[in-house]
Amino acid sequence: MSLSLLLGALVLALWMGLAPLQWALIAVRAAAQPQTVSLLLVVGLILIMSRLMKEAGQMDRLVKSFSRFTRDTRKVGSVIAALIGLLPMPGGALFSAPLVEASLSDHELTGEQKTVVNYWFRHIWEYWWPLYPGVVLAVALLEVDTWQFMVTMMPMTLLSVLAGAVFILQPIRNERVPEKRRVSFKAVREFVLEIMPILIVILVIIFLGGVTAVMNRLGFHLKIPGSVSILPGLLASLCWVCRTNRIPFGRIKNAVLDKGLLPLLLLLLTIMIFKSTLIESRAVLQIRDELIAYRIPLTLVVMFIPFISGLVTGVAVGFVGTSFPLVISMFPSHSLFEYLSYAALAYTFGYMGMMLSPVHLCFLVTKDYYRADMMKSYRRLILPVLSVLSVVTLLFFLTRLLLH
């Protein structure tokens, strides 16, 4: 994908009449932008923290600490997938698959049912969770505060949970575990301590948002870019993980120098180059003008370009990076609320395209782990996906009515 984006940017520049040297200067400027540098730094730190938490066994302890709070094994299975989903890992559904299978062992479920439980609930957070590279990139491209994007997209997580409960969990007969589960202060304390690295990131983002709002009220115009506002929380969280798990320097060094970081960082770099090429070659303006000339409704463009991008790439960074530079230029910008409503529509459609993608790594590894049939698994995803798309479309048009 990185090579395709880079070559695509070059071909686009030549198509729009730019010389190769002009495009090279655009690429260098894009790579040197503070926005690009901070984006690469944030995503790199996220992947390093994810690896250290996994290696230290902290995610396993987090799942075990939660399982003490409920006797409903359906809830345990879905929440285990969701808790593992708080930590972004390529193909991370394979990490949660054995835990979900163990929690649902009392049920006679098909491989397709297990696949959908693990796959759907693992992906309820990526609409707004600031540790996901797709969210970080969306915030950077939209040029809004992180908390503004988070608040806008949080309802999509609630909607996904509801759709999953109705169409995925409800058909599964509940089997309660025989032993009693008592919610004690000790159990709550253990759960909070294990989830603390994630809470630290969220609390610091909220704190910085509050400080910015107060400073602006006092007349000091302060704006922290979205990708930068995540950095302090990430650094504090990384220090917490290393200290509480007593991680030696050698293991931290191995995580920092991990060659697996390079492909994703290179992808993000080429996305920013592609975006700058679209803008500086004025291709975005010409595309917008032609769509208007052909009278293609803006709403259809905002829905289907991200959806197709998600279907083709199978990854959030992919659909955001390939479709957002184009569709964002078409968003109405006179009202922040309206601007973010278009962003929510575009992101959700792209996300559902990603969830249905046959090249989505999480779907493929989950299907293979449970030995499930691909088409039968897809059929179980259709209703949850359609319900999310229908509701977000309805909400979008309701906001349009309120604004006009």
CB-based contact 351:163 (threshold 8 Å): no
Residues whose CB falls within 8 Å of the CB of residue 224, separated by 6 or more in sequence, listed in order: 145, 208, 212
The pLDDT assigned to 386 comes to 96
CB-based contact 229:146 (threshold 8 Å): yes
Residues whose CB falls within 8 Å of the CB of residue 398, separated by 6 or more in sequence, listed in order: none
CB-based contact 316:362 (threshold 8 Å): no
**What are the distances in angstroms from CA 366 to CA 98, 147, 277?**
10, 32, 37
The pLDDT assigned to 334 comes to 83
Tokens 């790579």 sit on residue: 31
CA–CA separation, 101 vs 231, rounded Å? 35
pLDDT tens per residue, the chain (404 residues)? 788 889 988 999 999 999 999 999 999 998 998 878 887 888 788 778 878 887 888 777 876 777 677 666 677 778 878 887 887 765 567 667 777 776 776 667 888 888 999 999 999 999 998 888 889 889 989 989 888 999 999 999 999 999 999 999 888 766 555 555 556 778 788 888 888 887 888 788 788 878 887 887 888 777 776 667 778 888 998 999 999 999 999 988 988 888 878 887 888 788 788 878 887 888 777 877 787 788 888 899 999 889 988 887 788 888 998 889 889 988 988 889 999 999 999 999 999 999 998 878 788 778 888 888 989 999 999 999 999 999 999 999 998 888 77
CB-based contact 242:200 (threshold 8 Å): no
Q: What is the pTM of this model?
A: 0.72
The pLDDT assigned to 181 comes to 54
Closest C-alpha among 40, 126, 117 to residue 87: 126
Burial letters 300-311, b for 16+ CB under 10 A, else e: ebbbbbbbbbbb
Residues whose CB falls within 8 Å of the CB of residue 130, separated by 6 or more in sequence, listed in order: 136, 139, 146, 150, 201, 202, 205, 230
72: DSSP letter: B
**What are the distances in angstroms from CA 240 to CA 165, 173, 227, 247, 253?**
34, 40, 21, 10, 16
CA dihedral 278, 283, 288, 294 (to 10 degrees): -140
> Which residues pair with residue 176 across a beta bridge?
72
